[in-house]
């Protein structure tokens, strides 16, 4: 079995977690387990900024980490990029462990998944509540994504008629998306 985190080294450690009220089992290699575990132990949400800062720079600065990252070169060039709204650099973010403005997320969106993964047990995408104002469009997008996934399965299972129906469904939803989700009420 291969480690779920780095997908490189063999998994030697089994970690039991709670998910949706049920126990689930995950498999990590020794290196990843140590990283994940030491972070958990050190994580203190009200910690002073200095320890949080140290934590981040130690962690993201380790050689083993940068070697295992596939896009080291790309990362280097992107590190120089400043957030247009607050001026923060990616390097600064890693040192301080906090963003300076909402725009930082957009600026660093390529690098962020690897940071968020470490903090949130592998998750990189929000699945919870959505503010009412953008709810409708967002739901539409999610709906389209879900149908696309079903469509893929249908094609793999050679249920082509189902897949075609799903494709039409996606098209009509995409049209709605273009007009800003207004026509959704008609159905």
Partner 1 sequence: MNIEHFLHNPTTNWMQEEGQYGDIVMSTRIRLARNLTDFRFPRAFSDEEAMQIDKAVSNVLIDADDEEEQHFQFSYFSLHDMPALQRKVLVEKHLISPQLADKERVGSVLLSKDESISVMINEEDHIRIQCLQPGLQLEKAYESADQIDRLLEHHLPYAFDDTFGYLTSCPTNTGTGLRASIMMHLPALTMTNQIGSLISTMPRLGMVVRGMYGEGTESVGNYYQISNQITLGKSEKDILLDLQSVTEQIIQKETEARTALIEHASIALADRLNRSLGTLLYARILTSEEAANCLSNVRLGIYLGIIQNIPIAVLNECMLYMQPGFLQQHAGTTLQPNERDVYRASLLRERLQCNRELKKGHSDEEGEDSYDV
Give just the sign of the alpha carbon dihedral 60, 42, 8, 156: negative
Q: Mark out the alpha helices in the chain (DSSP H runs).
A: 30-42, 49-61, 63-68, 72-79, 90-96, 103-107, 112-119, 132-156, 160-178
Interface pick for partner 1 out of 120, 148, 171, 175 (rule CB under 8 A): 120
Interface pick for Zn ion out of 26, 35, 52, 83 (rule CB under 5 A): 83
- Residues that contact partner 1, how many (by CB under 8 A): 48
- The yes or no reply on residue 121 touching partner 1 (CB under 8 A) is yes
- The yes or no reply on residue 103 touching Zn ion (CB under 5 A) is yes
- The yes or no reply on residue 173 touching Zn ion (CB under 5 A) is no
DSSP structure class, residue 125: S
* Spatial distance between the Cα atoms of 152 and 53, rounded to a whole number of angstroms: 43
- The yes or no reply on residue 50 touching partner 1 (CB under 8 A) is no
Residues 125-164 close enough to bind partner 1 by CB under 8 A: 125-134, 138, 141
Query: Which residue matches tokens 């273009």?
Result: 178
Binding site for partner 1 (CB under 8 A): 15-21, 37, 40-41, 43-46, 52, 85-86, 88, 97-102, 105-106, 109, 112, 115-116, 119-134, 138, 141
């Amino acid at each position: 079995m291969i480690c779920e985190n780095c997908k490189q080294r063999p998994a030697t450690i089994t970690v039991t977690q709670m998910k949706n009220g049920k126990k689930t089992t995950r498999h990590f290699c020794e290196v990843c387990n140590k990283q994940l575990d030491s972070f958990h132990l050190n994580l203190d949400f009200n910690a002073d900024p200095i320890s949080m800062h140290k934590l981040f720079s130690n962690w993201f600065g380790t050689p083993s980490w940068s070697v295992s990252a596939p896009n080291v070169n790309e990362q280097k060039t992107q590190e120089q990029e400043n957030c247009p709204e607050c001026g923060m650099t990616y390097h600064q973010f890693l040192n301080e462990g906090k963003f300076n403005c909402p725009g930082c997320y957009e600026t660093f969106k390529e690098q962020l998944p690897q940071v968020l993964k470490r903090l949130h047990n592998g998750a990189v995408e929000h699945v919870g509540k959505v503010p009412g104002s953008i709810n409708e469009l967002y739901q539409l997008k999610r709906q389209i994504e879900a149908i696309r996934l079903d469509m893929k399965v249908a094609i793999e299972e050679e249920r082509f008629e189902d897949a075609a129906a799903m494709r039409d469904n996606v098209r009509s939803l995409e049209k709605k998306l273009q007009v800003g989700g207004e026509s959704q009420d008609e159905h």
